[in-house]
């Protein structure tokens, strides 16, 4: 971005909502990554429309960040604009058995709201450290549940500035996939349809899943969650273990011994370290089993 474009960005969004050269390791669960050229807090649908128009008209790269829980940012950072929804776009409301959550809301906050209202069906998401918007894009899931099972509709902003409401079917949910990965819609909010349940049972289920996560996942280290997608008919962690890669490392990027499906950052790992280790794991697993693992982590930037 040139200086005139930076001034225009501040004029459009407000100086208090724009930071230049923002370290992305502060905004990802991996704690890795170079700087964002500009880091922009968006407070309304109108602002998001204005911002995306500005980027498109000036040929400026645009990336929408959720909670940074499933991405690896390159060591040279992210050019252009990195946008995120502020608290103003993170509301959660309840209408009967439906929770209406804006894209910036955390999954944990939605799960806690469901618990308070005695609504069941969202317990699986309580421990996923992501936002509603990111979860919709990736069809986030855990322990047999995913967004596809509970989302009734999604309100999106289209590239031409139109606000549309997509049905569950129109979202084209699949394994770690939705239409948001194919068409540059921006998720604004979702209607999450749940069922009436018993608060004690819901709380117990959430605690049980939290304990399972703590017992089996390396939550004590920065990571981006499961590094690889689950290959059909296999478990990535088991394949990695069988290839003798438990504890394998490139500097501070390490295959977790607690859960081989996770690559963790033991201190000062770089994005290049993680990428190198991912490719070593993929190659050796393929040589051992004939299964080519596909990364679940989204790699962003340079």
Task: Say if residue 84 is in the same domain as residue 141.
Answer: no
Confidence (pLDDT) at 261? 96
Task: Say if residue 289 is in the same domain as residue 233.
Answer: yes
Catalytic residue among 69, 131, 223, 226: 226
Cβ of 260: how many Cβ atoms within 10 Å? 24
CATH, residue 60? 3.30.43.10
Strands (E), the chain: 18-23, 35-42, 62-65, 71-73, 78-85, 92-95, 98-102, 119-120, 141-142, 145-146, 151-157, 163-167, 186-193, 195-196, 249-250, 253-255, 263-265, 298-300
Task: Say if residue 104 is in the same domain as residue 186.
Answer: yes
Task: Say if residue 30 is in the same domain as residue 96.
Answer: no
Confidence (pLDDT) at 197? 95
Is the separation of the CB atoms in 210 and 126 below 8 Å?
A: yes
Residues with Cβ within 8 Å of residue 201, at least 6 apart in sequence? 120
CATH, residue 205? 3.30.465.10
Does 199 participate in catalysis according to the annotation? no
Does 226 participate in catalysis according to the annotation? yes
Catalytic residue among 176, 223, 256, 270: 176
Domain termination site, one of 187, 215, 243: 215
Task: Say if residue 77 is in the same domain as residue 192.
Answer: no
DSSP bridge pairs for 142: 145
Q: Residues 120-158: pLDDT tens digits?
A: 999 999 999 999 999 999 999 999 999 999 999 999 999
Domain termination site, one of 215, 230, 257: 215
- Please give the tally of structural domains in the chain: 3
The share of the chain scoring above pLDDT 70, in percent, equals 100
Q: Residues 172-208: pLDDT tens digits?
A: 999 999 999 999 999 999 999 999 999 999 999 999 9
Confidence (pLDDT) at 44? 94
Confidence (pLDDT) at 157? 96
Confidence (pLDDT) at 302? 87
Task: Say if residue 58 is in the same domain as residue 150.
Answer: no
Task: Say if residue 152 is in the same domain as residue 209.
Answer: yes
Instruction: Give the range of the structural domain holding residue 279, as residue numbers without chain letter.
Output: 219-300
| Regions of the chain short of the pLDDT cut 70 | none
Domain termination site, one of 70, 88, 106: 88
Task: Say if residue 162 is in the same domain as residue 206.
Answer: yes
Say what the pTM is.
0.90
In total, the chain counts a number of residues equal to: 302
Does 176 participate in catalysis according to the annotation? yes
């Amino acid at each position: 971005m040139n200086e005139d474009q930076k001034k225009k960005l501040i004029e459009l969004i407000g100086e208090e909502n724009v930071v230049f050269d923002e370290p992305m390791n502060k905004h990802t669960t991996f704690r890795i990554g170079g700087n964002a050229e500009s880091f922009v807090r968006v407070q309304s649908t109108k602002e998001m429309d204005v911002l995306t128009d500005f980027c498109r008209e000036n040929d400026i790269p645009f990336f929408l960040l959720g909670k940074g829980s499933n991405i690896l940012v390159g060591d040279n950072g992210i050019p252009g604009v990195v946008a995120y929804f502020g608290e103003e776009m993170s509301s959660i409301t309840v209408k009967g058995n439906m929770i209406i959550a804006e894209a910036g809301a955390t999954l944990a906050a939605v799960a806690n709201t469901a618990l308070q209202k005695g609504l069941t069906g969202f317990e699986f998401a309580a421990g996923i450290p992501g936002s509603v918007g990111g979860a919709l894009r990736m069809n986030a899931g855990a322990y047999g549940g995913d967004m596809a099972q509970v989302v009734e509709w999604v309100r999106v902003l289209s590239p031409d500035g139109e606000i549309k409401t997509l049905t569950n079917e129109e979202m084209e949910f699949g394994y770690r996939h939705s239409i948001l990965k194919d068409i540059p819609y921006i998720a604004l909010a979702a209607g999450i349809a749940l069922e009436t349940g018993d608060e004690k049972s819901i709380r117990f289920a959430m605690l049980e899943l939290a304990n399972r996560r703590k017992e089996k996942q390396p939550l004590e280290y920065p990571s981006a969650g499961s590094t690889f997608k689950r290959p059909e008919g296999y478990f990535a962690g088991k394949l990695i273990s069988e290839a003798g890669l438990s504890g394998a490392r490139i500097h501070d990027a390490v295959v977790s011994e607690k859960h081989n499906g996770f690559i963790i950052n033991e201190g000062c790992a770089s994005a290049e370290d993680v990428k190198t280790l991912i490719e070593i794991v993929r190659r050796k697993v393929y040589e051992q089993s004939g299964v080519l693992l596909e990364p679940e982590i989204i790699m962003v930037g340079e």
